[in-house]
Structure 1
Amino acid sequence: MVSLPQQPQGAPVTPHMVVCGDDGLVHRLAAELSGVYGERVTLVLPPARDDRRRSVSAAQGRAAALFGRVTGAVGRGGPAAGQNGTAPGPLVSIVEAAEPDDEALAAAGIDRAAALALVYDDDETNIHAALRARRVNPRLRLVIRLYNRRLGQYLEQLLDQAALVGAADGPDGARAAADASTTVLSDADTAAPALVAAAVAGTSKVVEAGGLLLRAAERPPPPDGAAPEPGTCTLALLSDGDGPELLPDERTVARAAGRGRLVLETVRYSAPPRPPSRLAVARSLPLGSFFSRRLRWALAGLAAAVCGLAVASWLVTGDDPVHAAYLSLLDLFAIDDPAIGQPLGRQILQLLSGLLGLLLLPLLVAAALEGLGTFRSASALPRPPRGMSGHVVLLGLGKVGARVLARLRELNIPVVCVERDPQARGVALARSLRVPTVIGDVTEEGVLEAAKIADSRTLLALTSSDTTNLEAVLYARAVKPDVRVVMRLYEDRFANAVYRTLRDSQPQASTRSRSVSYLVAPAFAGAMMGRQILGAVPVERKVILFASVEVAGHGALEGRTAAEAFRPGAWRVLALDLDSGPGLLWPLPAEHVFGREDRVIVVATREGLADLLGRRPRPRTADGERPFGAAR
């Protein structure tokens, strides 16, 4: 085990942050804590020879090589960099350990740390490390990455109870127990709404706060002299070539003619539909799912012939209609006596009934075989139906893909999934939701055609490989140049180069690049700082955060009006959390004065939230770079 770099001797010992992980999120989180909040961070990473760390850089190198072959030079190179294009700065030290065991946590100084984030891709590893850390330091603030939401709820309660018991024996036990909170987050759940919003036209980013649903929606440039929509708040002015402008004031918005904007508006809940009755469900059972159209028509024709024979027997013999129908059925199943000595009409009807009975036998066998095949294929993945169009093609059914699929189906958006591994997490969900799924490698010819990419509306490339995502997007654009694409890319410079090249080469099509770690890192960092991050809304390649903040102790809020507390480009107070009951005071009057006991909902940039909380970002170095990949 190696710890790098060593802190200078004689430096004051202050609480630091510890981040343990094995993928890109650990680097994003370290950049967020050190570059935005100015915290000292200790990373616990697998050894450099570990395949888990080598695979990230190798995949990015292959993706860059592929993109270079397809599009040529797409960006100007810079100096050599480390992970994600930057190198660790003086605020970050690294401890190399294969697993977060007791020795690794001790080397990271977990007994003196203020917070610990466990962001390994494996849930079991995070749980074991959390139990060890809580035992060593009951006052530690824990942030745990878990995919299993129900297990996360139980684990959060267990660790909070352990913190309460462990901190009660020390001085200031009540306050220490309150600070030693446990937060369980899922990167897939946090990123899924933003990915779906980027993929679906007309679907906006949504943040829930205090029972109120706030939606961030893109609006086109308003006509000259038009008044802003009532009940809305402008969050950002969209890019006009120099990038978006976040949290502008009213004068800036008024001068920004011809620029689209991102506005915040409320969404009202609608009552859920009443569940259908059992009788209605029984009536709506699709007969076509059991029998083919040809078989149904054949059975219908046979039934009509039997009815015709019954009517003819009634007319020829003059018997009671019920008795005539009974005789026809006996003749149909060949169990009636021969019509010897009976009128010629009766004999002819008996022969026709016997012939019809011969035709009935293969139809019954075919119906039995089709019904058996239907039940056997009920557990199989359905194929995309004929004539399907306007759907979303979702590549990858891993952790993130499964959450995105569930979100899309909640919105009743047609989806076709493509997954290489039939045992992936989301395959079972796709099977239960009866979502058409193609099992195959998306890089092979014919797979995207089987998903009907030519008739689709959007391509969501969410596999864990940048190379696969980029290759699928380029192939989809070759088949359908105007298809909307949203791809998951990790490395910032590479993502920007891809976005600009695709946008310039095909300006009529919508292109979005999203990084899951980039979307979720602010929420994890906010939880480590002890702040409640309600959500994050991506604005192109930047992020706006929604947070719940106590007014007490914040001089920029306490005793000030809502208008005075607004700092353009940094933060803005959106609403007041009402203590008397659920809900928010929204919109907030400009003359409202914030008291010490108030809790407010704030929308802020990363640097703005750090400044508001009293943790100013580290200053830039001489070459203009922030330490360890700080967000720009």
Structure 2
Amino acid sequence: MVVCGDDGLAHRLAAELRGVYREQVTLVVPPAGRRVRQPVVGRARAASAALRDMVSAAVNRTGNGEQGVAGRELEASEPTEDVLADAGVERAGALALVYDDDETNIRAALTARRLNPRVRLVLRLYNRRLGQHIEALLDQSAALAAGDGRPLRADGVESSTTVLSDADTAAPALAATALVGTSKIVETDGLLLRAVERNPPLPGQVADPGLCTLALLSATSNDPAGADGSEDSGEGPQLLPDAAAVRAATGRGTVVLEQVSYSGPSLPAGRASVPPFAELFSRRLRWSLAGLAACVVALAVALMLVTDDHPLHATYVTLLDLFSINEPAHNADSGRQVLQLLSGFVGLLLLPVLLAAVLEALGTFRTATALRKPPRGLGGHVVLLGLGKIGTRVLTRLREMDIPVVCVESDPEARGMATARRLRVPVVLGDVTQEGVLEAAKIHRAHSLLALTSVDTTNLEAVLYGRSVRSGLRVVLRLYDDDFATAVYRTLRAAHPGALTRSRSVTHLAAPSFAGAMMGRQILGAIPVERRVLLFAAVEVAGHPQLEGRTVGEAFRAGAWRVLALEVADGAASGEGEADVDADVEGEVRRGSRLVWDLPDTYVLRGEDRVVLAATRRGLAELLGRRTRERFPG
């Protein structure tokens, strides 16, 4: 495996491949003086080396004669053709390009495909539409190079190109933490799966298991979302427990899986910049217009009483007098003359009001694309700190769920500013470390704070200040280092025991998906359980003796993997080919989905089946381990 990158994701991905999948990895990183976010990269590099040493020591203790996890590291400013050749791309099974710049990844991918048409490529691209085109282009190139139209490697493993985004991978979990009851979400086949944390049932109560029980939470953790345990420690939650373990667990919270429908309408992009009618005019101007309309009605009623005229004709004459286009009432009685003078006076008052309305409307349309300020009386909203790549994706997710958001950003040219304008989300420009910035975002009335900048200390400072303003504020920190996150959580829990504190690492959430793609597996998503991760993957049953020919109950291995759903053919999903589906699951296909949930334990998995399963990282590595292994020299 070859991993090329310039930030912490490259080192985290290398550690994942070495420690979980036991792969030989060549890591290509820029020289020390040119690396992005040097402190974070340094911690990631140390974590990678520590994990590699730990796995090697564990292997040596088994005494089975296996060698330790091998790997090497190269330093290069850019992934040029010579650098990729030196890294062994021509002989590599997979190549991950996880540079922060999309153009660098695309250029290197085109070069790598020319050097080795059969290598499995995994690209990190933020532009999703461009990623789809690049993925199709590189797959087509590999198929043509294979000659038979199928991009296969020499060991029989199918070659492919996978385009992923760390922002898209982490955004659902980060956005969901701002909501009560939707702390962890993964999307598969257009469906939303929600992992819900539930407190231990009271005596006499029966806990609802949902679709299945994913984990038993730490018995010592009052806030399951911010775990004490580090990512690789043996302490913490029990993932994928069996029924006996669930029954035996007392006083421990659980994480259960639920299937939910998508809620919250998307904001129409075409009308996002057009304000509603009520926002065209100020409140004072609306009252002025209402008062003038009342005067017109009163004058029309008075004219009808004085002249005994028809109501419609009286209103018409009043409007003519109002706009000064009626003939003077020289020969009329005194009452008619007085009403005409009053109508003319009201008409004079109407002119400045109409002019103000026009000016306000033009000003409102002119500033419709500008940044909005938090409205008065706003409360129960989410304060989102940082509009970079991650913050932009999280903002989009929150608005899709119709959650009120106020953003705080120090850079007026940040990546997410255009998205905030399009979605008409209030934005406060300023440094969060300066006094008054969070107050402008109405932090004292906010429901939660999402601190998603790329600087851990900035996120921590914002959270500490938010808690000083409102002690019960729900906070979500984007923290990279496990030890730092553990120390922060313990301190905040001790100081604010009644508030929820959660820490998330983007590289930690994204690395399993990238590693699974390099192994040729389709990772649908990852759900954090405390400081550990549970993966959801789509797997072909054929070729896996742990699944093929076994029932769903027999295929389940506690603490490793569990089959959740069965993917059926398009005809069966539409009701045209249900004869091909086993009788045990016939009729269970959800409308608009190709997945069958609530599989009975007696259903026998066949070789042609494709299933969705939940697995731990090591469980997935064991279940879907490579049949062959290339040994890189050196």
Q: State the TM bucket, normalised to the shorter chain.
A: 0.7 to 0.9
Deviations 1:103-134 (A, max 9, x none): 11011011010000011111111111100000
- Partner SS state of residue 100, structure 2: coil
Decide which of 108, 132, 136 is 2:115's aligned counterpart: 136
Matched, 1:357 2:357: no
Pick the aligned partner of 2:4 from 20, 23, 29: 20
Q: Match for 2:279 among 274, 280, 289?
A: 289
1:479-521 Cα deviation digits (max 9, x unpaired): 0111000110111111111112112221100000000010011
The C-alpha deviation readout for 1:70-126, integer Å capped at 9, x for no partner, is xxxxxxxxxxx8357838656221111111111110110110100000111111111
In structure 2, the CA distance between the partners of 1:321 and 1:216, relative to structure 1 (3 Å rule), is closer
Counterpart among 482, 486, 507 of residue 492 in structure 1: 482
Query: What does residue 86 of structure 1 align with?
Result: 50
Pick 1 or 2: higher relative contact order, CA cutoff 8 A, min separation 6. 1
Q: Which residue of 2 aligns with 1:201?
A: 180
What whole-Å deviation, never above 9, does each CA across 1:124-148 have from its counterpart, x for those lacking one?
1111110000011000000011111
**Structure 2 residue runs without a partner (length 5+):** 54-68, 221-234, 574-593, 628-634
Verify: 1:462 aligned to 2:473, yes or no: no
2:38 matched to 1:54? Answer: yes
**C-alpha separation in 1, matches of 2:613 and 2:313:** 83
Aligned to 2:249: 256
Structure 1 residue 544: Cα displacement: 0.6
How far apart, CA to CA, are the structure 2 residues paired with 1:457 and 1:423?
27
For residues 48-447 of structure 1, the aligned pairs below 5 Å read 48-52=32-36, 54=38, 56=40, 82=46, 86=50, 91-168=70-147, 179-209=158-188, 213-224=192-203, 226-229=205-208, 232-241=211-220, 242-267=235-260, 286-317=276-307, 324-336=314-326, 338-340=328-330, 342-447=332-437
Residue 161 of structure 1 deviates from its aligned partner by 0.5
**How big is each residue's C-alpha offset from its partner over 1:249-285, in whole Å with a ceiling of 9 and x where there is no partner?**
2111111111110112333578x98999xxxx9xx98
Deviates more, 1:38-47 or 1:360-369: 360-369
- Cα separation, 2, equivalents of 1:372 and 1:275: 23
Alignment partner for residue 588 of structure 1, among 565, 586, 599?
Answer: 599
Q: How far off its partner does 1:386 sit?
A: 1.1
- Paired position in structure 2 for 1:472: 462
CA contact (8 A) 1:549 1:601 kept: yes
1:359-404 deviation per Cα after TM superposition (whole angstroms, max 9, x unaligned): 2222222222222221222111111111111111111111111111
Check whether the contact 1:163–1:177 (CA below 8 A) recurs between aligned residues: no
Instruction: Return closer, same or farther for 1:581/1:324 CA change in 2, 3 Å cut-off.
Output: closer
2:229 alignment counterpart = none
Partner SS, residue 372 of structure 2? coil
Shift of 1:213: 4.4
What's the CA shift string for 1:19-70, capped at 9, x where partnerless? Answer: 1111111011001000111101111101111152535369x89xxxxxxxxx
**Structure 1 residue matching 2:618: 3-state secondary structure:** helix
In the alignment, is the contact (CA less than 8 A) between 1:577 and 1:585 conserved in 2?
Answer: yes
Contact 1:207–1:213 under 8 Å retained in 2: yes
8 Å Cα contact 2:385-2:451 kept in structure 1: yes
Q: What code does the residue aligned with 2:560 have?
A: A
Report the CA distance between 1:599 and its aligned residue.
2.8
Aligned counterparts of 1:57 and 1:521: Cα–Cα separation in 2: 14
Match of 1:76 in 2: none
Distance, in Å, in 1 between the alignment partners of 2:204 and 2:335 is 90
Letter in 2 for 1:505: A
Q: In the TM superposition, what is the alpha-carbon distance from 1:549 to its structure 2 partner?
A: 2.2
SS of 2:22's equivalent in the other structure is: coil
RMSD (CA atoms): 3.0
CA contact (8 A) 1:231 1:587 kept: no
Equivalent pair of 1:392/1:414 in contact (CA under 8 Å): yes
State the match for 2:24 in structure 1: 40
1:623 corresponding residue in structure 2: none
Contact 2:152–2:159 (CA<8 Å) still a contact in 1? no
Partner SS state of residue 83, structure 2: helix
- Contact residue 156 and residue 184 of structure 1 kept, 8 A: yes
Deviations 1:511-553 (A, max 9, x none): 0000001001111000000111111110010001111223333
Kindly indicate whether the alpha-carbon contact (under 8 Å) linking 1:110 and 1:133 is maintained by their aligned counterparts in 2. yes
CA–CA distance in 2 between the matches of 1:148 and 1:256? 45
Q: TM-score, normalised by structure 2?
A: 0.84
Aligned 8 A contact 2:15 2:48 in 1: no
Counterpart CA distance in 1 for 2:552 and 2:311 is: 87
**Residue 123 of structure 2: SS of its match in structure 1?**
strand
- For 1:338 and 1:536, the matched residues in 2 are separated by 80
| Structure 1 equivalent of residue 560 of structure 2 | 570
Contact map agreement 2:19 2:51 (CA 8 A) in 1: no
Aligned-partner Cα distance in 2 for 1:566–1:141: 30
Give the 3 Å change call, closer, same or farther, for CA 446–539 of structure 1 in structure 2. Answer: same
| TM-score of the superposed pair, with normalisation by structure 1 | 0.84
Task: For 1:559, give the aligned amino acid.
Answer: G
Q: CA deviation at 1:176?
A: 7.3
Letter in 2 for 1:581: A
- Flag the 1:469–1:146 CA change in 2: closer, same or farther, 3 A: same
Aligned partners of 1:126 and 1:144 also within 8 Å: yes
Q: Aligned partners of 2:111 and 2:462: how far apart in 1? A: 43
CA distance in 1, matches of 2:79, 2:39: 20
> 2:281–2:361: 8 Å Cα contact kept in structure 1?
yes
> Does the CA contact (< 8 Å) of 1:390 and 1:457 recur in 2?
yes
Q: More deviation in 438-447 or 297-306?
A: 297-306
Task: Tell me the distance in 2 between the aligned counterparts of 1:253 and 1:99.
Answer: 51
Task: Report if the CA contact (8 A) 1:561-1:594 is conserved.
Answer: yes
Q: How far is 1:178 from its partner?
A: 6.5
Please identify, of 602-611 and 218-227, the stretch whose mean Cα deviation from structure 2 is larger: 218-227
Unaligned runs of 5+ in 1: 1-16, 62-80, 617-632
Contact 1:237 1:259 in 2 (8 A): yes
Q: Deviations over 1:178-220 (max 9, x none)?
A: 6220001111111111112222111143334456543321122
Which SS does the other structure have where 1:467 is aligned? helix
Q: Do the aligned partners of residues 210 and 307 (structure 1) sit closer, same or farther apart at CA in structure 2, a change above 3 Å counting?
A: closer
Q: CA deviation at 1:357?
A: 2.7
Letter in 1 for 2:33: R
Quickly say closer, same or farther: Cα 1:501–1:319, change in 2 above 3 A: closer
Distance 1:613 1:246 in 2: 18
Alignment partners' CA distance in 2, 1:532 and 1:315: 81
The residue type equivalent to 1:348 in the other structure is V
Q: 1:510 to 1:285 in 2, by over 3 A?
A: closer
Q: 1:565 & 1:111 partners in 2: Cα distance?
A: 38
1:43 is paired with a residue whose SS is strand
Contact 2:524-2:536 within 8 A present in 1 as well: yes
Is 422-431 or 211-220 further displaced after alignment? 211-220
Deviates more, 1:452-461 or 1:81-90: 81-90
CA deviation string 1:219-267 (max 9, x = no partner):
2212346555365311100111251111112111111111110112333
